[in-house]
Structure 1
Amino acid sequence: MTTSLLWIPVTLAAAAAQTGRNATQRRLTETIGTVGATQVRFLYGFPFALLALAVMNLVTGEVVPGPNATFLAYALTGAVTQILATALMLAAMRERAFSVVTAYTKTEPVQVALFGLVLLGDHLTLAMALAIAVATSGVLLMSVKPGTSLTSSGAKPVVFGLASGAFFALAAIGFRGAILSLDQGSPLIRASTTLVWGLGLQTVILMIWLGLLDRKALVASFKAWRPSLGAGFLGALASQFWFIGFALTTAANVRTLALVEVLMAQAVSHRFLAQATTRRELAGMLLILAGVGLLLLAQR
């Protein structure tokens, strides 16, 4: 496999780790609240990111690149928008409209492509645009149950879901911009450096926020350190792969291929929750696979 295609297995690994992280983090929402569960992802992921960067520095001998003004602006944008996106996603899930939330948050690839084109000048071909549209339509089809619509759960999950997708898109663009703005280093070391800065900023922001406005949730997140540690590790692992993907190709490519996470979540539900797959869901899966296939063909 050429270096230019390494983003494909990297993205698949990120999607798998994130599937596990989401399940763990969703359970924490029920015990320590939305903001507390959001903070767990960053607070407990930060040490793992630091350890990964230290190991890479030791093994490769590469110098960790220092930040510049452009890097800090992009990293801060990515950090803040990812916090908002995660909080909105978890809040929408608490409305008990998981399928609707999934549908709207997974409009992210469309928004990533538009933001990437405008803010970073990332190239978007007709084939890539078609792939994004087909894969996203598959997610929407999977999320609409017979006799219902995407708006049947009320306005709040719709608004939260769309806003979450938009902020996730801006976070992806912010972190890719930060990675590209570093002056030196391989894609791996630049991605890992950006991850450490991103998680560090997010940890500080949320610690201050919770310390001032919700100390109960802050204390609860420390008490729930055992499950939080697992969520933090999986979150850091997923983010490590996401950032490497962003260093190797456009955010639109990474986030479109990442829609296979929907298929992974469906497989988990089928295997462990004994949920049968309907014809509608199967048709949606085929559309996702078709969109991903088109995307991979467009890379040639």
Structure 2
Amino acid sequence: MKLSVTFFLLAIGMFAQESRINTNLRKKIEDYNTSFAASFINGKTEDLLKAYTDESILMPEHSRQRIGKKEIVDFYKQWKTQAVITSYQKEIVDLQDFGNYILEIGTFNEDLNVKEQKPYSYSGKYMVLWKKSSMTIASEIWGSNTYFDDKLIPEIDDSAVSPTQEDTASDKLTLEVKERNNKIKEMVQKRLGEEHAKMFLPNAMYLTYYTPILSGEKEITPYFAEHEKPGTLVIEEISIKTSGIIFAQKAIVEFGFYSVDWKDGDSKGNVKGKSMNVWQKNDSGELMLFRQMVNHD
């Protein structure tokens, strides 16, 4: 995760906007997804870990970020202890080649039955960052396409999970990413949804909580215009922090976490979550969001 000379040279020019994956790499990912589904359904927890390393980052929906095999296997063991899984499928929607990393985006459907609850079809989208040299998972995040009742999926105990820590690096590009996050924080608090949407490249994808994949400015701009419009909702406090960064050859991949205190009339609350953010530069050399996924803890 250190900044390389190669990346510095690439950063001088504009990042490539889109790079397609060759057939062999796509086949490897599809084969892994098929193998994972079979292991997940059959309860073979050890088989689920073959693509994870001690540095892998897992960002499950309605649960905290986990790092490394020990914390990841604990998550899957808890899930399998509570739920009977009758089917699980993944479908790849988009693959991007960042040189030394591959970004996979897709949809999933999991039919499961939590103890004494009715069967539930858990459907959503996901994002996986693959390290190309070893075809291991650097990071993974997922979330539902619609709002759902927590009791329909396993209740995960996160008490043994290490708290997410803010990244303290101070190199130029890391500081640039953090400054862009400060701009997002300001726009969210001021309810400037249309301005927030301009932080995305025209061909971006945005994967947010309880919503299907949003592709391109024609879908992303209306979402933010509605979601962050002025009204009775007030954002009293908000923090957006960086927990780590991978400098790929053709993108910056940031791992973030956030906390929002909100108030709407007599109602108020706090929501915490995490994100995987893929930054690339536009023609003006400004960092823009190319792919982003967000989910709640």
Measured against the shorter chain, the TM-score band is under 0.3
Higher RCO (C-alpha 8 Å, min separation 6): 1
TM-score by length of 1: 0.26
TM-score by length of 2: 0.26
User: Is the strand fraction higher in 1 or 2?
Assistant: 2
